[in-house]
Structure 1
Amino acid sequence: MDLGMSSIRSGMELRRLPHLSVWKLQGLGVDCGKRVTSVLVRDSYLSMFDTVWAEALSQEGRGGVIITGQPGIGKTLFNYYLLVRLLQRRQVVLFSPDGMRLFLFYHDGVYALPMSVLAGRGRDVLPDPISSSKLFLWTLFDIFESRGPVLPLVADPCFPVQTTLPDPIRYQTWEESATPLLTGLPLWTREELAAGLRCQTKYPILMEGLEEYCAYGEFPQSFPYPSALELLEERYGADEVPSADDALDYLLDVAIERFGYSARDVFGGVFNFEDAIRVHKSAFPYSYAQLQEAVSSLAKIRSVDDSIAYEILALRPVNKAPLRRVGWDVDFKSDWVARNVIRKLSLIEPEDLDTTSYRHISSFQDIPQARRLAERFLEPLVHRSLANCAGGFWTLTKMKPNGADPPHFTLDRDSPVPDDVELIRVRRDIIELKSIADLSAHLVDNNGYYIPVDPDFPLFDAIIIELNRAKNLAVLWILQISTSRRHCGSSLGYLKIREITEILKDELKEDHPRNKNRAAHVQATPTPSVQVRYLVVVPTHGPWRGPSQDLQWQFPQGWRQSKEWNNHGDNDYYLSDYLPV
C-alpha cells in the first residue's frame, strides 16, 4: 500500500519509574519538534484519557474532542501521553505536534510527511483501517499559530483530538460541523508542581547550586539563577542554614504565591524569578474596560488579548457531567496578581474608592464565571467597614487545626473563645503602609488599622495592633479577607510577621529603658511580649455573602519551621463570623 509517506524507525516504549508518577518515553525514533523524554502523569491525564476513549467509542469515531485550558498546564504533553496509551491499545494514529508535520503510527511502522501533502491529497494518503463505520483513525494534533487545522485531519475516517489554547480561531473551522466534545485540563496542585519541577531539564543544575549554598553559604560563581540566591538570602539570612530540599520548597512556594498554579509560570519563576515578575507586570491592564473585556471573552472561550488572558487570568474547567461540554471559572492567577491589578486600576481611576469597588463588583457579577474575581474588589469595602464600626465587640468563633504541617483549620463552634480574646468595635485610623519599615513611624496605641499598599505583601490583607504599654504587651491581629470556602496564603508571610513582631518588641522596650538597678528593673518590668492572632474575615450580608459551616483555612508550607525561626504565631486562631458590609 502506498501511503505517500517516508518510513521512519519504529518502536516506542513507555516505562514507569519507581516511586514517581513519571513515565519515560524511549525509542520514539521521531523528531517531533520537542524533546520529550519524560512525562509527569497527572491524575487529570488519566481521567482525560478515559474521557477521550469513552467519547470516541460512544460516537463510533464521529465528532472528536477539543482539550483546552490555561496556557502552560501541559496540554501539549498530554498529547504525547495520549499517543502512547493509544499505541499500547494497537490503535492507528496520525500525530502532529505542531500542525505542520505529520507522523503516522501504522501497525509496526512509523511514517512521516509534511502537512502540505495531506492538505493536497487528503484521504488518498491515509490508510483505510477496515470498511466499517465503527472503525476510524485517531488524529492527535496541536496548532501553535492562530489558524485552524487542515481539513483531512478532522474529516472521515479520522477521530480528531486537538489540544489548544482557549482560542476558537484554532478549532472553529471543524467545531461547527463536527460538534466535538469541548473539555479542559485543570490547573496543577502543589504536589504536582513539586514532582514536575524535578522533571525539568534545569533542575539538576539548580539542585547542585542549592546543595553548595546550604553546605557553604554561597552559590557557585557560575550559577545561572541569581534570582534564587536573592530570594534565599532574604528568607534565611546569614544565620540560618536550610537543607537543599527546604530551600527548593521555599523557591517553589514563592513562585506559586506570585504566579498561581500554571506549571509553565511556576517553573519559570523558580528558575528566573525577576524575569517572570517583569513579564506578568507588563501584562497588567491599562484600564478597567480592558480587564472586563478580557474576563468576559475568556469566560465564554472567545478570542482574547493574549497578554491579559494568559498572564494575569486563570481559567478553571467546571465539569458538569461525564461527556458533557465543560463550563469555566475565571479568576486572577494569584492573590499577588489580583492586588497588583486592583491597585493599578484604583490609581488609574481615582474615583471614590467605595463607589468604584461597588461598580466593579456589580459589573463582574453579571459574568457568572467571574464570581470569584468580582469578590476580589470587596477588600476595600471590608477595610472601611472594620475601621468605622463602633460599639461592643466583634463576634469571634474559634478555628481548630488538623495537626498537619502546614495546618489546615476548620470551624470549631463547640470550643469557646477565651475570655481574654476580644476584638473591640471601635473607629480606627486607617494607615497605609508602603513597607514594614514604615510601621514604627505610624504606631498608635489601640486604634490602628494598617493596610499594606505594597502588593508584594503576602498571607494577610491588613493588621490591627493593640498596644498595652503598662503590661509591655502587644496583640497583633493578622487579617485575611475571604469570600471562598478555602483560603491559602504564602510562606512569605511568615517572614513579614517576624519583622512586625520585632518592631513591636523594640517599641515596648523603648517605653521601659534599663534601670540602673537591673534586678529591680527585671522584677518591675515584664519582658516585651507579642501575641499573634489570625483572623479570617468573612462577609455574611449582601451579594458577597460568604461561607459559614464549611469555611476552611489552609496555611502555606513551612509552618512549623517558620514558627520556630520566625516567631509568627501561637496556637490561637479565630474567625470573625459576622461582618455587615
Structure 2
Amino acid sequence: MSSIDFSWESFRADFWGKHEKLAAAEKSRLLFLPPNLATHTGLRFGRARPNSFVYIREEYRTLYSTLEKADEEGDNGEELNGFVVTGNPGIGKSLFNFYALARRLSEEKSTLYSRSGMNTLLFTKDGVFQLEAGYTRMDLASTPWVWCFHDPRDEVEDLFASCFLIATVSPSPEHYRKFTKEYTITKWYMNPWIDEAERKHWVCNENWFQKVGPILRDYTKFFNKREELMEETRRAISVHDPRSLSKVFETMASNNPFSDRAVYHRLIVVSRDLSQPLNFRVTFRSLWIENLVREVLLKTEIAIAEEIFKAHRGTGVFAGLVFERLTEDYLIGKKPERVGRFFRLEEESKGTRKFSRLAVPSVDERPHDQGKIKWYDGVENINVDSERFWIPHDKTNALFDAITFDINGSSTVIWVYQVTVSNNHIGSDKSYVSLEQIYQNVLQVTKQPPIVRYVLVLPRSNPSASISWKFPADEDGCRWIQGDVYVQFISLSHY
C-alpha cells in the first residue's frame, strides 16, 4: 500500500472521529466534500456551488441502518458477505457511498472504497492508503473485518468477498448475477425520489417533476433537453406492440425488473415492496408515461387485450391497464357475458369507511349498459345524461376511473367506477374535489340532490372473502360524499 494525499485525506480528516461534524451534516441534510473530490471520482455532486455536496436522503439513513443490523446479525445466523444495492439509474446510489463512508469515519472504523477507474482506497486512523495493483482476495482476508463500498462500472469484483461488501451497481443483472450466486448477498432496492422533503429541496416545478417521474437525473435533463427526453420515452413504447410490451412487463414482475433496458430506462420505476423490504415492486415512471401506454392499449382489439390479460394472470401494473381497457367495453354492452355478479358491500363498522362484507342478496341492481364511451379532459366537460360512460382521457385520480348517470324522472344516481386488479383498494382524498364538482353540476341541472353509488370492478368470477374498499379521511377541505358501495365482478374464466 502507498499513502495518498489531496482531497481523500482531507475528507478523512474532516470526519474521522468527528461526531459533531456528522451531526451537523445530518441536521442540514447536506454533506459537504472537499473541492476536488468530484474530479477524482468522475461523479457529479449536487448543484453548482463552490464545494461539492451530497444531499442526505432519508433512503441513505434507512439503508445504513439496514447494513449495520445485517452486519451484526448475519443472514439467518450465517455470515453475510454483504449487499448489492440497485435501482433505477439516476437516483443517487453512488452518492450513498460518501454518506456511508463519512458515517464509518466518524465512528473511527477502517473502511475500503473502490470505484472503477481508481485504485482501491483504505481509510484508517493513520491516513488514506491506496492498494497497489495485483492485490488479491486473500490479501484482504488477512486484514481485520472491514466494510467495502464498491462502485463498479461493470461487474462486481469477487476479490472483495472477504469484506462486508456494499456494491452500488447498475440495474443490469449481468453486473451482479455471478457474485450473488457464489456468495451470501442480499439485494436491496433503493427507492426513487418520492420523499416530500427531498422534492422540496430539489424541485422548483412540481408539474415537470410529475411528468418525468421520481428520477432526479431525468428531472435535471428535462430542463435542458426536454424534447430529447420525451422522444426517448415515446420511442421506448413504440418499439413494442401490445403483445411484446406485455411480455416485457411480465418478465419484470416475475423475475427481474431491469430485463429490457429501453423500457426500464424510460418507462418504469422500481421501489422496495413495503410488506417485503428485500423485494421490489414495479410502477410506471409517471402519470404522463402511463397515459402514453393507455393510448396504445385503446387501439388494441378486445380479443388481443383478453389474450394479454390472460398471459398476466391478472397481476402487475401493465395488467391493470389492460383490465381497464377491457372493462370499458364490457360495461357499455360489448360481451355482456363477461359482466358477472353484482353485490353491495357493507361497512366493517360505522365510520371506518372500509367496506368489505358482501351483502347477500344485494337489493340494488347494476346500472344498465351505457350506449357509448365518452372521453373527457376535465369534469367540467361531463354532461349529465344516461347514455354515456364517461372516462377521463388522462387518469388523474385514484378515486374513480369512470362516471355514469342513471336518470329516472327527478331522481339521478351518480355511479362512480373504480377498476382495479387488486382485491384491497384504497382511494385518494385528493379526488374528492373532482367528485364534488360533478355532484354540484348534477344539482345545478336537476335541481335535486343526486345519489352517489360507488362500484369496485374486479376481475373475478366468484365472490372473494378478502375484498375491501377503503375511503380515506377528509383532508384539506376535501370531503367524501357518502353513498352505497358495491362490487362488480367481471367473469374471466382463466382467472
TM-score range, shorter chain: 0.7 to 0.9
CA distance in 2, matches of 1:457, 1:259: 15
**Residue 39 of structure 1: how far off its partner (Å):** 0.9
1:480 to 418, 438, 452: 418
The secondary structure found in structure 1 opposite 2:331 is helix
Distance 1:263 1:44, change over 3 A: farther
User: What is the CA–CA distance in structure 1 between the aligned matches of 2:258 and 2:466, rounded to whole Å?
Assistant: 39
Instruction: Letter of the 1:433 partner, please give it.
Output: W
Shift, 1:331, TM fit: 4.4
Contact in 2 for aligned 1:15/1:24 (Cα 8 Å): no
- On the 8 A contact 1:73/1:263 being kept in 2, the answer is yes
Q: Is the 8 A contact 1:505 1:528 kept in 2?
A: yes
Out of 94, 105, 130, the position equivalent to 2:112 is 94
- Does structure 1 conserve the Cα–Cα contact (< 8 Å) formed by 2:119 and 2:133? no
> For 1:571 and 1:157, how far apart are their aligned partners in 2?
61
Letter of the structure 1 residue corresponding to residue 270 of structure 2: L
Task: Identify the match of residue 553 of structure 1 among 461, 470, 480.
Answer: 470
Amino acid paired to 1:66: V
Residues 1:485 and 1:22: Cα distance change in structure 2 (over 3 Å): farther
Q: Is the 8 A contact 2:149 2:166 kept in 1?
A: yes
Per-residue Cα deviation, 1:145-177 (whole angstroms, up to 9, x for no partner): 4x225x5x734654432112321233346445x
Q: Could you tell me the TM-score, scaled by structure 2's length? A: 0.73
CA contact (8 A) 1:392 1:424 kept: no
Distance in 1 separating the partners of 2:159 and 2:236: 35
- Secondary structure at the counterpart of residue 37 of structure 2: coil
Give the unaligned 5+ runs of structure 2. 46-51
Tell me which amino acid in the other structure corresponds to 1:429: G
Q: Give, in angstroms, the shift of residue 291 of structure 1.
A: 1.8
In the TM superposition, residue 360 of structure 1 has moved relative to its aligned partner by 0.6
Which AA in structure 1 matches 2:456?
V
Q: Deviations over 1:49-68 (max 9, x none)?
A: 423554499766x8442122
Query: 2:222 & 2:353 partners in 1: Cα distance?
Result: 28
Written as runs of structure 1 = structure 2, the 5 A alignment for 1:522-541 is 527-541=447-461
Say which of 125, 134, 139 aligns to 1:122.
134
Q: What amino acid sits opposite 1:264 in the alignment?
A: L
Task: Measure how far apart 1:131 and its partner are.
Answer: 4.1
1:295 to 241, 249, 272: 249
Q: Which residue of 2 aligns with 1:222?
A: none
1:379 to 1:273, Cα distance in 2 relative to 1, 3 A:
farther
* Alpha-carbon distance in 2 for matches of 1:268, 1:280: 15
Report the CA distance between 1:83 and its aligned residue: 2.2
Change (3 A) 1:179 1:409: farther
C-alpha separation between the residues in 2 aligned to 1:106 and 1:57?
Answer: 30
CA distance in 1, matches of 2:359, 2:218: 39
Superposition map of 1:268-279 within 5 A: none
Partner of 2:371: 429
Q: 2:362, 2:309 → 1: CA distance?
A: 37
2:159 paired with 1:154:
yes
Are positions 1:198 and 2:197 aligned together?
Answer: no
Alignment of 1:354-373 (within 5 A): 355-365=303-313, 371=316, 373=318
Distance, in Å, in 2 between the alignment partners of 1:16 and 1:289 is 52
Q: How does 1:299-318 map to 2 (within 5 A)?
A: 299-301=254-256, 304-317=259-272
**Residue aligning to 1:284:** 237
CA distance in 1, matches of 2:437, 2:186: 49
Aligned 8 A contact 1:504 1:530 in 2: yes
CA contact (8 A) 2:425 2:469 kept: yes
Q: How does 1:483-522 map to 2 (within 5 A)?
A: 483-488=421-426, 493-494=431-432, 496-497=434-435, 500-501=438-439, 503-505=441-443, 507-508=445-446
Matching of residue 264 in structure 1 with residue 216 in structure 2: yes
Equivalent position of 2:5 in the other structure: 6
- Please name the residue that 2:49 is paired with: none
Is contact 2:249-2:318 (8 Å) kept? no
Whether the 8 Å contact between 2:257 and 2:282 is mirrored in structure 1 is no
Question: Which residue in 2 is equivalent to 1:410?
Answer: 354
Deviation at 1:309, TM superposition (A): 1.3
Whole-angstrom CA distance in 2 between matches of 1:504 and 1:321:
45
Distance 2:107 2:24 in 1: 21
Supply the distance in 2 between the matched residues of 1:465 and 1:155 (Cα, whole angstroms).
65
Give me the identity figure in percent: 16
Residue 482 of structure 2 corresponds to residue 571 of structure 1 = yes
TM-score (norm 1): 0.64
Alignment match of 1:450 (pick from 390, 396, 404): 390
Equivalent-residue separation in structure 2 for 1:309 and 1:410 (angstroms)? 35
Q: How far 1:480 moved relative to its partner?
A: 0.8
2:353 and 2:471 in contact (8 A); partners too:
yes
In structure 1, C-alpha distance between the alignment counterparts of 2:266 and 2:371, rounded to whole Å: 36
Pair 1:188–1:331, CA change in 2 (3 A): closer
Distance in 1 (CA, whole Å) between partners of 2:357 and 2:236 is 44
Aligned position for 1:169: 174
Q: 1:321 to 1:495 in 2, by over 3 A?
A: closer
* Unaligned stretches of 5+ residues in structure 1: 207-224, 232-250, 509-526, 564-568
- The answer on whether the counterparts of 2:407 and 2:413 sit within 8 Å (CA) in structure 1 is yes
Say whether 1:343 aligns with 2:295.
Answer: yes
Q: Residues 181-200 of structure 1: CA distance to partner in whole angstroms, max 9, x if unpaired?
A: 1412254696xx11222343
State the AA in 2 paired with 1:380: R
The CA deviation at 1:561 is: 1.8
Aligned to 1:51: 70
Change (3 A) 1:47 1:138: closer
| Alignment match of 1:136 (pick from 133, 141, 145) | 145
CA RMSD between the two structures: 4.8
